[in-house]
A and B are shown apart, each in its own frame.
Chain A
Amino acid sequence: MISLGLWTLLQKEVRRFLRVPGQTLLSPVITTALYFIVFGYSLGGRLREVEGVPYARFIVPGLVTLGVVTNAYLNTASSMFVMKLQGTITDLLVSPLSYGEILAGFVVAAVLRGLLVGGVMWGVAGVFSGFDVAHPLLALALVVLAAVAFSALGLMTAIWASSFEQVNFFPTFFITPLTFLGGVFYSIEMLPAPFRAFTHVNPVFYMVDGVRFGMLGISDAPPAAGAALLVVLASGAIAAAYAMLRSGYKLRG
Protein backbone atom coordinates (compact mmCIF):
# COMPACT_ATOMS: atom_id res chain seq x y z
CA MET A 1 0.00 0.00 0.00
CA ILE A 2 1.18 3.48 -0.81
CA SER A 3 2.19 5.52 2.27
CA LEU A 4 0.66 8.92 3.06
CA GLY A 5 4.13 10.46 2.76
CA LEU A 6 4.66 9.15 -0.76
CA TRP A 7 1.08 10.02 -1.76
CA THR A 8 1.64 13.59 -0.51
CA LEU A 9 4.90 13.99 -2.44
CA LEU A 10 3.32 12.54 -5.57
CA GLN A 11 0.30 14.85 -5.32
CA LYS A 12 2.56 17.83 -4.71
CA GLU A 13 4.69 17.05 -7.76
CA VAL A 14 1.65 16.57 -10.00
CA ARG A 15 -0.06 19.73 -8.74
CA ARG A 16 3.17 21.64 -9.36
CA PHE A 17 3.17 20.90 -13.08
CA LEU A 18 -0.61 21.21 -13.41
CA ARG A 19 -0.47 24.74 -11.94
CA VAL A 20 1.61 25.95 -14.89
CA PRO A 21 -0.05 24.01 -17.74
CA GLY A 22 1.01 26.56 -20.36
CA GLN A 23 4.65 25.83 -19.63
CA THR A 24 4.49 22.16 -18.72
CA LEU A 25 1.82 20.75 -21.03
CA LEU A 26 0.78 23.20 -23.75
CA SER A 27 4.23 24.40 -24.76
CA PRO A 28 5.60 20.92 -25.60
CA VAL A 29 2.39 20.08 -27.43
CA ILE A 30 2.69 23.21 -29.59
CA THR A 31 6.37 22.53 -30.32
CA THR A 32 5.60 18.98 -31.38
CA ALA A 33 2.59 20.03 -33.41
CA LEU A 34 4.90 22.42 -35.27
CA TYR A 35 7.39 19.58 -35.93
CA PHE A 36 4.51 17.50 -37.15
CA ILE A 37 3.13 20.16 -39.46
CA VAL A 38 6.49 21.30 -40.83
CA PHE A 39 8.20 17.92 -41.21
CA GLY A 40 5.12 15.80 -41.72
CA TYR A 41 3.63 17.96 -44.41
CA SER A 42 6.62 19.55 -46.10
CA LEU A 43 8.70 16.36 -46.23
CA GLY A 44 5.65 14.15 -46.35
CA GLY A 45 4.67 15.79 -49.61
CA ARG A 46 7.90 14.53 -51.20
CA LEU A 47 8.48 11.29 -49.33
CA ARG A 48 4.88 10.07 -49.28
CA GLU A 49 5.74 6.73 -47.67
CA VAL A 50 8.50 5.26 -45.51
CA GLU A 51 8.58 1.48 -45.09
CA GLY A 52 5.05 1.34 -46.43
CA VAL A 53 3.67 3.89 -43.96
CA PRO A 54 2.64 7.47 -44.82
CA TYR A 55 5.45 9.79 -43.69
CA ALA A 56 3.15 11.87 -41.47
CA ARG A 57 2.32 8.66 -39.60
CA PHE A 58 5.91 7.42 -39.60
CA ILE A 59 7.17 10.35 -37.51
CA VAL A 60 4.45 10.17 -34.81
CA PRO A 61 6.11 7.51 -32.57
CA GLY A 62 9.42 9.40 -32.57
CA LEU A 63 7.77 12.72 -31.79
CA VAL A 64 5.70 11.19 -28.99
CA THR A 65 8.81 9.53 -27.55
CA LEU A 66 10.72 12.81 -27.77
CA GLY A 67 7.88 14.64 -25.97
CA VAL A 68 7.61 11.97 -23.28
CA VAL A 69 11.32 11.72 -22.45
CA THR A 70 11.97 15.46 -22.61
CA ASN A 71 9.06 16.24 -20.29
CA ALA A 72 9.81 13.40 -17.89
CA TYR A 73 13.39 14.67 -17.69
CA LEU A 74 12.40 18.32 -17.28
CA ASN A 75 9.86 17.59 -14.56
CA THR A 76 12.24 15.90 -12.13
CA ALA A 77 15.16 18.12 -13.12
CA SER A 78 13.38 21.44 -12.67
CA SER A 79 11.46 20.38 -9.57
CA MET A 80 14.51 19.05 -7.74
CA PHE A 81 16.78 21.90 -8.84
CA VAL A 82 14.26 24.59 -7.86
CA MET A 83 13.78 22.88 -4.48
CA LYS A 84 17.54 22.99 -3.98
CA LEU A 85 17.66 26.63 -5.06
CA GLN A 86 14.76 27.74 -2.88
CA GLY A 87 15.81 25.62 0.08
CA THR A 88 12.51 23.72 0.17
CA ILE A 89 14.46 20.48 -0.31
CA THR A 90 14.97 20.79 3.46
CA ASP A 91 11.25 19.95 3.88
CA LEU A 92 11.88 16.53 2.34
CA LEU A 93 15.27 15.92 3.90
CA VAL A 94 14.02 16.39 7.47
CA SER A 95 10.97 14.19 6.85
CA PRO A 96 10.84 10.45 7.54
CA LEU A 97 10.28 9.70 3.82
CA SER A 98 12.52 6.83 2.74
CA TYR A 99 14.89 7.20 -0.21
CA GLY A 100 12.65 4.88 -2.21
CA GLU A 101 9.60 7.01 -1.46
CA ILE A 102 11.35 10.23 -2.49
CA LEU A 103 12.53 8.59 -5.71
CA ALA A 104 9.09 7.11 -6.45
CA GLY A 105 7.31 10.42 -5.79
CA PHE A 106 9.50 12.33 -8.24
CA VAL A 107 9.64 9.61 -10.90
CA VAL A 108 5.94 8.70 -10.97
CA ALA A 109 4.89 12.37 -11.22
CA ALA A 110 7.39 12.92 -14.05
CA VAL A 111 6.15 9.81 -15.88
CA LEU A 112 2.59 11.10 -15.58
CA ARG A 113 3.61 14.45 -17.07
CA GLY A 114 5.48 12.66 -19.85
CA LEU A 115 2.48 10.46 -20.61
CA LEU A 116 0.09 13.40 -20.49
CA VAL A 117 2.20 15.37 -22.99
CA GLY A 118 2.79 12.27 -25.12
CA GLY A 119 -0.91 11.38 -25.03
CA VAL A 120 -2.03 14.84 -26.10
CA MET A 121 0.60 14.86 -28.87
CA TRP A 122 -0.54 11.46 -30.06
CA GLY A 123 -4.13 12.72 -30.02
CA VAL A 124 -3.23 15.83 -32.04
CA ALA A 125 -1.21 13.77 -34.51
CA GLY A 126 -4.00 11.21 -34.70
CA VAL A 127 -6.38 13.81 -36.08
CA PHE A 128 -4.08 14.16 -39.09
CA SER A 129 -2.80 10.63 -39.50
CA GLY A 130 -5.17 8.22 -37.74
CA PHE A 131 -5.40 6.57 -34.33
CA ASP A 132 -4.54 2.95 -35.16
CA VAL A 133 -1.96 1.41 -32.82
CA ALA A 134 -0.42 -1.95 -33.75
CA HIS A 135 0.55 -3.15 -30.26
CA PRO A 136 -0.99 -0.70 -27.75
CA LEU A 137 0.22 -2.39 -24.55
CA LEU A 138 3.76 -2.81 -25.84
CA ALA A 139 3.82 0.82 -27.05
CA LEU A 140 2.60 2.06 -23.66
CA ALA A 141 5.05 -0.14 -21.75
CA LEU A 142 8.01 1.10 -23.82
CA VAL A 143 6.98 4.74 -23.47
CA VAL A 144 6.61 4.32 -19.70
CA LEU A 145 10.06 2.68 -19.47
CA ALA A 146 11.57 5.56 -21.46
CA ALA A 147 9.86 8.08 -19.17
CA VAL A 148 11.12 6.26 -16.05
CA ALA A 149 14.68 6.22 -17.39
CA PHE A 150 14.73 9.91 -18.31
CA SER A 151 12.98 11.09 -15.15
CA ALA A 152 15.62 9.29 -13.06
CA LEU A 153 18.32 10.93 -15.22
CA GLY A 154 16.67 14.31 -14.65
CA LEU A 155 16.65 13.76 -10.91
CA MET A 156 20.33 12.81 -10.85
CA THR A 157 21.31 15.77 -13.02
CA ALA A 158 19.43 18.20 -10.75
CA ILE A 159 21.02 16.74 -7.61
CA TRP A 160 24.45 17.12 -9.20
CA ALA A 161 23.90 20.51 -10.87
CA SER A 162 24.85 23.81 -9.28
CA SER A 163 23.39 26.00 -12.04
CA PHE A 164 20.51 26.04 -14.49
CA GLU A 165 23.07 25.73 -17.25
CA GLN A 166 24.13 22.37 -15.88
CA VAL A 167 20.50 21.24 -15.63
CA ASN A 168 20.08 22.02 -19.33
CA PHE A 169 23.35 20.37 -20.25
CA PHE A 170 21.87 16.92 -20.67
CA PRO A 171 18.86 17.84 -22.88
CA THR A 172 20.91 20.23 -25.00
CA PHE A 173 23.92 18.04 -25.60
CA PHE A 174 22.43 14.55 -25.39
CA ILE A 175 18.67 14.25 -25.65
CA THR A 176 18.08 16.60 -28.58
CA PRO A 177 21.04 15.55 -30.80
CA LEU A 178 20.60 11.85 -30.10
CA THR A 179 16.88 12.15 -30.81
CA PHE A 180 17.35 14.00 -34.08
CA LEU A 181 20.01 11.48 -35.11
CA GLY A 182 17.98 8.59 -33.69
CA GLY A 183 15.54 8.10 -36.51
CA VAL A 184 12.64 10.24 -35.34
CA PHE A 185 12.26 11.80 -38.79
CA TYR A 186 13.69 9.11 -41.04
CA SER A 187 14.30 5.42 -41.47
CA ILE A 188 17.96 4.49 -41.14
CA GLU A 189 17.64 2.83 -44.52
CA MET A 190 17.55 6.37 -45.93
CA LEU A 191 20.99 7.22 -44.48
CA PRO A 192 24.45 6.74 -46.02
CA ALA A 193 26.47 3.90 -44.46
CA PRO A 194 28.66 5.90 -41.99
CA PHE A 195 25.61 7.60 -40.44
CA ARG A 196 23.81 4.31 -40.35
CA ALA A 197 26.67 2.86 -38.33
CA PHE A 198 26.47 5.76 -35.89
CA THR A 199 22.73 5.29 -35.52
CA HIS A 200 23.32 1.69 -34.48
CA VAL A 201 25.21 2.84 -31.38
CA ASN A 202 22.68 5.54 -30.51
CA PRO A 203 20.44 4.28 -27.68
CA VAL A 204 17.67 6.73 -28.62
CA PHE A 205 17.40 5.00 -32.00
CA TYR A 206 16.44 1.69 -30.35
CA MET A 207 14.04 3.50 -28.07
CA VAL A 208 12.27 5.28 -30.94
CA ASP A 209 12.41 2.18 -33.11
CA GLY A 210 10.87 0.04 -30.36
CA VAL A 211 8.04 2.53 -29.77
CA ARG A 212 7.50 2.72 -33.54
CA PHE A 213 7.11 -1.05 -33.63
CA GLY A 214 4.60 -0.81 -30.79
CA MET A 215 2.61 1.93 -32.49
CA LEU A 216 2.96 1.13 -36.20
CA GLY A 217 4.17 -2.47 -36.30
CA ILE A 218 7.30 -1.59 -38.32
CA SER A 219 10.91 -1.31 -37.19
CA ASP A 220 14.47 -1.04 -38.48
CA ALA A 221 16.01 -3.10 -35.68
CA PRO A 222 14.59 -6.16 -33.92
CA PRO A 223 11.86 -4.77 -31.59
CA ALA A 224 13.25 -6.84 -28.73
CA ALA A 225 16.46 -4.75 -28.90
CA GLY A 226 14.55 -1.55 -28.09
CA ALA A 227 12.59 -3.24 -25.33
CA ALA A 228 15.71 -4.78 -23.80
CA LEU A 229 17.61 -1.51 -23.97
CA LEU A 230 14.76 0.36 -22.30
CA VAL A 231 14.49 -2.20 -19.51
CA VAL A 232 18.25 -1.93 -18.87
CA LEU A 233 18.23 1.87 -19.14
CA ALA A 234 15.22 2.32 -16.85
CA SER A 235 16.36 -0.12 -14.19
CA GLY A 236 19.95 1.18 -14.35
CA ALA A 237 18.85 4.81 -14.02
CA ILE A 238 16.51 4.01 -11.12
CA ALA A 239 19.23 2.05 -9.31
CA ALA A 240 21.75 4.85 -9.85
CA ALA A 241 19.30 7.56 -8.68
CA TYR A 242 18.43 5.50 -5.60
CA ALA A 243 22.12 5.03 -4.78
CA MET A 244 22.69 8.76 -5.26
CA LEU A 245 19.85 9.71 -2.89
CA ARG A 246 20.99 7.13 -0.36
CA SER A 247 24.58 8.36 -0.45
CA GLY A 248 23.41 11.88 0.44
CA TYR A 249 25.56 13.23 -2.42
CA LYS A 250 25.17 17.04 -2.64
CA LEU A 251 22.00 16.88 -0.55
CA ARG A 252 23.24 15.96 2.89
CA GLY A 253 26.64 17.69 2.78
Chain B
Amino acid sequence: MDTVVAIRGVTKRYGPLVAVDGIDLGIRRGEIFGLLGPNGAGKTTLISMIAGLLRPTSGEISVLGHDVVREYRETRRAIGLVPQEINFDPFFNVEETLRMQAGYFGVRLAEERLVEILGALDLLSKRTTNSRALSGGMKRRLLIGKALVHDPAVLFLDEPTAGVDVELRRSLWSYVRRLRERGTTIVLTTHYLEEAEELADRIGVIDRGRLLVVEDKDALLSRHGAKVLRLSLARPIASLPAPLVAVGARLDAGGSVVTFEASTGDAFGPLLAAVADAGLAVGDVETRRTTLEDVFVRLVSRDRGEATA
Protein backbone atom coordinates (compact mmCIF):
# COMPACT_ATOMS: atom_id res chain seq x y z
CA MET B 1 0.00 0.00 0.00
CA ASP B 2 1.65 3.30 -1.01
CA THR B 3 2.08 6.30 1.22
CA VAL B 4 0.38 9.53 0.14
CA VAL B 5 1.51 11.69 3.06
CA ALA B 6 4.96 11.11 4.54
CA ILE B 7 5.86 12.93 7.77
CA ARG B 8 9.49 12.62 8.86
CA GLY B 9 10.79 13.93 12.17
CA VAL B 10 8.43 16.91 12.21
CA THR B 11 8.64 19.33 15.12
CA LYS B 12 6.83 22.61 15.68
CA ARG B 13 7.97 24.93 18.45
CA TYR B 14 6.45 28.15 19.71
CA GLY B 15 9.26 29.54 21.83
CA PRO B 16 9.72 27.08 24.69
CA LEU B 17 6.46 25.25 23.87
CA VAL B 18 6.85 22.14 21.74
CA ALA B 19 3.46 21.69 20.03
CA VAL B 20 4.55 18.79 17.82
CA ASP B 21 7.56 16.76 18.88
CA GLY B 22 9.47 14.77 16.26
CA ILE B 23 6.56 12.96 14.62
CA ASP B 24 7.09 10.26 11.99
CA LEU B 25 3.95 9.06 10.25
CA GLY B 26 2.81 7.77 6.87
CA ILE B 27 -0.77 8.06 5.63
CA ARG B 28 -1.69 5.29 3.19
CA ARG B 29 -3.59 5.74 -0.04
CA GLY B 30 -7.33 5.19 0.29
CA GLU B 31 -7.50 4.83 4.06
CA ILE B 32 -9.41 6.76 6.70
CA PHE B 33 -6.83 7.66 9.30
CA GLY B 34 -8.13 8.79 12.67
CA LEU B 35 -5.83 11.12 14.58
CA LEU B 36 -6.96 11.12 18.18
CA GLY B 37 -5.83 13.17 21.10
CA PRO B 38 -7.06 15.39 23.91
CA ASN B 39 -7.47 19.14 23.36
CA GLY B 40 -4.12 20.81 22.76
CA ALA B 41 -2.40 17.52 21.91
CA GLY B 42 -1.04 18.84 18.59
CA LYS B 43 -3.57 17.35 16.13
CA THR B 44 -4.50 20.63 14.44
CA THR B 45 -0.87 21.82 14.44
CA LEU B 46 0.19 18.64 12.66
CA ILE B 47 -2.44 18.79 9.92
CA SER B 48 -1.96 22.55 9.55
CA MET B 49 1.69 21.89 8.71
CA ILE B 50 0.69 19.32 6.09
CA ALA B 51 -1.87 21.68 4.53
CA GLY B 52 0.55 24.63 4.48
CA LEU B 53 -1.10 26.77 7.16
CA LEU B 54 1.96 26.44 9.39
CA ARG B 55 5.61 25.79 8.68
CA PRO B 56 7.44 23.07 10.59
CA THR B 57 10.33 24.17 12.80
CA SER B 58 12.18 21.06 11.63
CA GLY B 59 11.51 17.85 9.75
CA GLU B 60 9.98 17.18 6.36
CA ILE B 61 6.50 16.52 5.04
CA SER B 62 5.73 15.32 1.55
CA VAL B 63 2.39 14.78 -0.17
CA LEU B 64 2.35 12.50 -3.22
CA GLY B 65 6.13 12.78 -3.23
CA HIS B 66 6.24 16.60 -3.22
CA ASP B 67 7.68 18.64 -0.37
CA VAL B 68 4.99 20.82 1.27
CA VAL B 69 7.28 23.84 1.60
CA ARG B 70 9.36 23.75 -1.59
CA GLU B 71 6.67 22.36 -3.90
CA TYR B 72 3.64 23.87 -2.18
CA ARG B 73 1.66 24.39 -5.36
CA GLU B 74 1.69 20.66 -6.15
CA THR B 75 0.94 19.55 -2.60
CA ARG B 76 -1.88 22.03 -2.03
CA ARG B 77 -3.63 20.90 -5.22
CA ALA B 78 -3.69 17.41 -3.71
CA ILE B 79 -5.09 18.51 -0.34
CA GLY B 80 -8.51 19.56 0.86
CA LEU B 81 -8.75 20.95 4.38
CA VAL B 82 -11.88 21.34 6.46
CA PRO B 83 -10.70 23.59 9.28
CA GLN B 84 -11.90 23.22 12.81
CA GLU B 85 -13.09 26.81 13.12
CA ILE B 86 -16.13 27.74 11.05
CA ASN B 87 -15.38 30.60 8.68
CA PHE B 88 -17.54 32.31 6.08
CA ASP B 89 -17.42 35.41 3.92
CA PRO B 90 -20.64 37.40 4.42
CA PHE B 91 -20.18 39.09 1.06
CA PHE B 92 -20.96 35.92 -0.91
CA ASN B 93 -23.60 33.22 -1.26
CA VAL B 94 -23.08 29.46 -1.18
CA GLU B 95 -22.56 29.02 -4.93
CA GLU B 96 -20.21 32.01 -5.20
CA THR B 97 -18.21 30.72 -2.22
CA LEU B 98 -17.72 27.31 -3.83
CA ARG B 99 -16.91 28.74 -7.26
CA MET B 100 -14.34 31.12 -5.79
CA GLN B 101 -12.64 28.38 -3.80
CA ALA B 102 -12.45 26.23 -6.95
CA GLY B 103 -10.99 29.21 -8.83
CA TYR B 104 -8.18 29.62 -6.28
CA PHE B 105 -7.22 26.04 -7.15
CA GLY B 106 -7.32 26.80 -10.87
CA VAL B 107 -10.53 24.79 -11.35
CA ARG B 108 -13.64 25.98 -13.18
CA LEU B 109 -16.42 24.33 -11.22
CA ALA B 110 -18.70 22.49 -13.66
CA GLU B 111 -22.43 22.74 -13.04
CA GLU B 112 -22.75 18.95 -12.50
CA ARG B 113 -19.94 18.94 -9.96
CA LEU B 114 -21.44 21.93 -8.13
CA VAL B 115 -24.84 20.24 -7.97
CA GLU B 116 -23.23 16.98 -6.85
CA ILE B 117 -21.40 18.66 -3.97
CA LEU B 118 -24.43 20.71 -2.94
CA GLY B 119 -26.64 17.62 -3.10
CA ALA B 120 -24.25 15.45 -1.10
CA LEU B 121 -24.06 18.10 1.61
CA ASP B 122 -27.81 18.79 1.55
CA LEU B 123 -27.26 22.41 0.52
CA LEU B 124 -29.02 22.43 -2.87
CA SER B 125 -31.87 24.57 -1.60
CA LYS B 126 -29.33 27.05 -0.16
CA ARG B 127 -27.43 27.58 -3.40
CA THR B 128 -28.15 31.31 -3.60
CA THR B 129 -28.39 31.93 0.15
CA ASN B 130 -25.82 34.30 1.62
CA SER B 131 -23.39 32.27 3.74
CA ARG B 132 -24.12 34.58 6.69
CA ALA B 133 -27.74 33.33 6.72
CA LEU B 134 -26.80 29.64 7.03
CA SER B 135 -27.19 27.73 10.28
CA GLY B 136 -24.05 26.51 12.10
CA GLY B 137 -24.43 22.99 10.69
CA MET B 138 -24.90 24.33 7.16
CA LYS B 139 -21.83 26.55 7.48
CA ARG B 140 -19.83 23.50 8.51
CA ARG B 141 -21.12 21.56 5.51
CA LEU B 142 -20.18 24.49 3.27
CA LEU B 143 -16.64 24.22 4.66
CA ILE B 144 -16.60 20.57 3.59
CA GLY B 145 -17.87 21.60 0.15
CA LYS B 146 -15.08 24.18 -0.15
CA ALA B 147 -12.49 21.51 0.65
CA LEU B 148 -13.87 19.22 -2.08
CA VAL B 149 -14.23 21.61 -5.05
CA HIS B 150 -10.86 20.67 -6.52
CA ASP B 151 -11.39 16.94 -5.95
CA PRO B 152 -8.40 16.49 -3.63
CA ALA B 153 -6.55 13.19 -3.29
CA VAL B 154 -6.31 13.68 0.49
CA LEU B 155 -9.03 15.27 2.59
CA PHE B 156 -8.24 16.53 6.08
CA LEU B 157 -11.21 16.84 8.39
CA ASP B 158 -10.28 18.72 11.55
CA GLU B 159 -12.96 17.96 14.13
CA PRO B 160 -15.63 17.90 11.40
CA THR B 161 -18.58 17.14 13.65
CA ALA B 162 -17.79 19.40 16.61
CA GLY B 163 -21.07 20.98 17.67
CA VAL B 164 -23.04 19.09 15.01
CA ASP B 165 -26.28 17.30 15.89
CA VAL B 166 -26.53 13.50 15.83
CA GLU B 167 -28.49 13.28 12.57
CA LEU B 168 -26.08 15.50 10.68
CA ARG B 169 -23.11 13.68 12.20
CA ARG B 170 -24.44 10.36 10.85
CA SER B 171 -25.03 11.85 7.39
CA LEU B 172 -21.50 13.33 7.34
CA TRP B 173 -20.06 9.96 8.31
CA SER B 174 -21.84 8.25 5.46
CA TYR B 175 -20.58 10.93 3.06
CA VAL B 176 -17.01 10.42 4.31
CA ARG B 177 -17.34 6.69 3.64
CA ARG B 178 -18.59 7.41 0.12
CA LEU B 179 -15.59 9.64 -0.51
CA ARG B 180 -13.27 6.88 0.64
CA GLU B 181 -15.02 4.41 -1.66
CA ARG B 182 -14.26 6.77 -4.54
CA GLY B 183 -10.59 6.67 -3.66
CA THR B 184 -10.12 9.77 -1.48
CA THR B 185 -7.68 9.33 1.39
CA ILE B 186 -9.11 10.84 4.56
CA VAL B 187 -7.39 12.07 7.69
CA LEU B 188 -9.78 12.77 10.50
CA THR B 189 -8.90 14.48 13.74
CA THR B 190 -11.40 14.12 16.47
CA HIS B 191 -11.78 13.84 20.16
CA TYR B 192 -15.08 12.01 19.65
CA LEU B 193 -13.78 8.47 19.98
CA GLU B 194 -17.06 7.09 18.74
CA GLU B 195 -16.42 8.91 15.48
CA ALA B 196 -12.98 7.38 15.01
CA GLU B 197 -14.26 3.96 16.02
CA GLU B 198 -17.07 4.27 13.48
CA LEU B 199 -14.98 5.54 10.56
CA ALA B 200 -11.26 4.95 10.86
CA ASP B 201 -9.24 2.12 9.38
CA ARG B 202 -6.14 3.11 11.32
CA ILE B 203 -5.72 5.14 14.46
CA GLY B 204 -2.93 7.39 15.65
CA VAL B 205 -3.04 8.62 19.24
CA ILE B 206 -1.23 11.88 19.90
CA ASP B 207 -0.64 13.55 23.24
CA ARG B 208 1.50 16.55 24.11
CA GLY B 209 2.91 16.63 20.59
CA ARG B 210 4.09 13.02 20.54
CA LEU B 211 2.57 10.12 18.66
CA LEU B 212 1.90 7.41 21.25
CA VAL B 213 0.66 4.69 18.93
CA VAL B 214 -0.26 4.10 15.29
CA GLU B 215 -2.12 0.92 14.55
CA ASP B 216 -5.00 -0.66 12.64
CA LYS B 217 -8.13 0.13 14.58
CA ASP B 218 -9.17 -3.51 14.98
CA ALA B 219 -5.66 -4.59 16.01
CA LEU B 220 -5.48 -1.72 18.50
CA LEU B 221 -8.81 -2.68 20.03
CA SER B 222 -7.94 -6.35 20.25
CA ARG B 223 -4.44 -5.72 21.61
CA HIS B 224 -5.43 -3.17 24.19
CA GLY B 225 -9.06 -4.20 24.44
CA ALA B 226 -10.92 -6.61 26.66
CA LYS B 227 -14.41 -7.98 27.03
CA VAL B 228 -16.40 -8.33 30.21
CA LEU B 229 -19.20 -10.79 31.00
CA ARG B 230 -21.48 -10.07 33.97
CA LEU B 231 -23.92 -12.74 35.11
CA SER B 232 -26.59 -11.55 37.55
CA LEU B 233 -27.62 -14.52 39.66
CA ALA B 234 -31.26 -15.24 40.42
CA ARG B 235 -30.18 -16.38 43.91
CA PRO B 236 -27.06 -14.88 45.53
CA ILE B 237 -24.33 -17.28 46.61
CA ALA B 238 -21.90 -17.11 49.54
CA SER B 239 -18.75 -18.08 47.65
CA LEU B 240 -17.65 -18.80 44.13
CA PRO B 241 -17.36 -22.51 43.23
CA ALA B 242 -13.74 -23.61 42.67
CA PRO B 243 -14.06 -24.30 38.88
CA LEU B 244 -15.20 -20.70 38.35
CA VAL B 245 -12.33 -19.37 40.46
CA ALA B 246 -10.01 -21.51 38.35
CA VAL B 247 -11.08 -19.85 35.08
CA GLY B 248 -10.61 -16.37 36.60
CA ALA B 249 -14.15 -15.31 37.52
CA ARG B 250 -14.89 -13.22 40.59
CA LEU B 251 -17.93 -12.66 42.77
CA ASP B 252 -19.29 -9.13 43.08
CA ALA B 253 -22.29 -7.22 44.44
CA GLY B 254 -22.58 -9.20 47.66
CA GLY B 255 -22.67 -12.55 45.90
CA SER B 256 -25.27 -11.70 43.28
CA VAL B 257 -23.00 -11.03 40.29
CA VAL B 258 -20.32 -13.18 38.67
CA THR B 259 -17.88 -11.08 36.63
CA PHE B 260 -15.45 -12.46 34.08
CA GLU B 261 -12.91 -10.45 32.09
CA ALA B 262 -11.13 -11.83 29.04
CA SER B 263 -9.03 -10.66 26.12
CA THR B 264 -11.05 -9.93 22.99
CA GLY B 265 -9.84 -13.17 21.36
CA ASP B 266 -10.78 -15.44 24.29
CA ALA B 267 -13.99 -17.50 24.40
CA PHE B 268 -16.60 -17.42 27.17
CA GLY B 269 -17.44 -21.14 26.64
CA PRO B 270 -15.43 -22.67 29.53
CA LEU B 271 -16.85 -20.13 31.99
CA LEU B 272 -20.43 -20.74 30.88
CA ALA B 273 -19.89 -24.51 31.13
CA ALA B 274 -18.52 -24.08 34.67
CA VAL B 275 -21.55 -21.96 35.61
CA ALA B 276 -23.90 -24.63 34.28
CA ASP B 277 -21.96 -27.41 36.09
CA ALA B 278 -22.15 -25.48 39.37
CA GLY B 279 -25.95 -25.29 38.95
CA LEU B 280 -26.09 -21.48 39.33
CA ALA B 281 -29.39 -19.85 38.33
CA VAL B 282 -28.60 -16.95 35.98
CA GLY B 283 -31.14 -14.11 35.98
CA ASP B 284 -29.51 -11.74 33.46
CA VAL B 285 -26.48 -11.62 31.16
CA GLU B 286 -24.55 -8.48 30.20
CA THR B 287 -21.50 -8.26 27.97
CA ARG B 288 -19.37 -5.24 27.22
CA ARG B 289 -16.48 -4.73 24.81
CA THR B 290 -13.71 -2.24 25.49
CA THR B 291 -14.30 0.84 23.40
CA LEU B 292 -11.69 2.93 21.70
CA GLU B 293 -12.34 5.42 24.47
CA ASP B 294 -11.12 2.93 27.10
CA VAL B 295 -8.00 2.25 25.01
CA PHE B 296 -7.43 5.95 24.45
CA VAL B 297 -7.76 6.83 28.13
CA ARG B 298 -5.40 4.00 29.04
CA LEU B 299 -2.78 5.05 26.49
CA VAL B 300 -2.91 8.75 27.36
CA SER B 301 -2.89 8.19 31.12
CA ARG B 302 -0.04 5.69 30.81
CA ASP B 303 1.93 8.27 28.82
CA ARG B 304 1.25 10.98 31.38
CA GLY B 305 2.02 8.61 34.27
CA GLU B 306 5.37 7.72 32.76
CA ALA B 307 6.14 11.34 32.04
CA THR B 308 5.45 12.45 35.59
CA ALA B 309 7.19 9.45 37.21
Contact = CB atoms under 8 A, between A and B. Distances in A.
Interface of A: 3-5, 7-9, 11-12, 15-16, 19, 83, 86-88, 90-98, 248, 252-253
Contacts of A7: 103
A235 to B, nearest CB: 25
Closest 4 CB pairs of A and B: A8-B103, A87-B87, A95-B104, A96-B73
Contacts of A8: 100, 103-104
A4 B55 CA distance: 26
Nearest to A3: B106
Given A93-B53, A96-B73, A253-B53, A5 B83 contact: no
A83 B106 CA distance: 21
A96 B76 contact: yes
B65 to A, nearest CB: 16
B106 A86 contact: no
A87 B52 contact: no
Given A8-B104, A96-B106, A19 B91 contact: yes
B173 interface: no
A5 B76 CA distance: 13
B53 A91 contact: no
Contacts of B88: 86, 88
B277 to A, nearest CB: 65
Contacts of B83: 87, 90
B101 A96 contact: no
B266 interface: no
A126 B76 CA distance: 50
Contacts of B54: 252-253
B72 A96 contact: yes
B85 interface: yes
Which of B14, B52, B101, B106 gathers most chain A CB within 10 Å?
B106
A5 B101 contact: no
A171 to B, nearest CB: 22
B73 to A, nearest CB: 4
Contact of A94 (B53, B89, B108): B53
Nearest to A4: B106
A141 B281 CA distance: 98
B137 to A, nearest CB: 17
Given A86-B88, A88-B88, A95-B76, A9 B53 contact: no
B55 A96 contact: no
Contacts of B85: 87
Nearest to B81: A94
Interface in B33-58: 48, 51-55
A90 B14 CA distance: 20
Contacts of B100: 8, 11-12, 91
Interface string B68-95: 0000111011010101011111111000
Contacts of A19: 91
B146 interface: yes
A95 B146 contact: no
A253 B48 contact: yes
Contacts of A88: 87-89
A173 to B, nearest CB: 29
A79 B90 CA distance: 12
Given A90-B53, A93-B53, A9 B104 contact: yes
B105 interface: yes
12 contacts: A4-B103, A5-B106, A83-B89, A86-B90, A91-B87, A91-B146, A95-B101, A96-B72, A96-B74, A97-B104, A98-B73, A253-B53
Contacts of A5: 103-106
B12 to A, nearest CB: 8
A248 to B, nearest CB: 6
Interface in B7-51: 12, 14, 48, 51
Contacts of B146: 91
A236 B81 CA distance: 35
Contacts of B14: 253
Nearest to B104: A95
A23 to B, nearest CB: 12
B106 A248 contact: no
Contact of B87 (A3, A90, A95, A98): A90
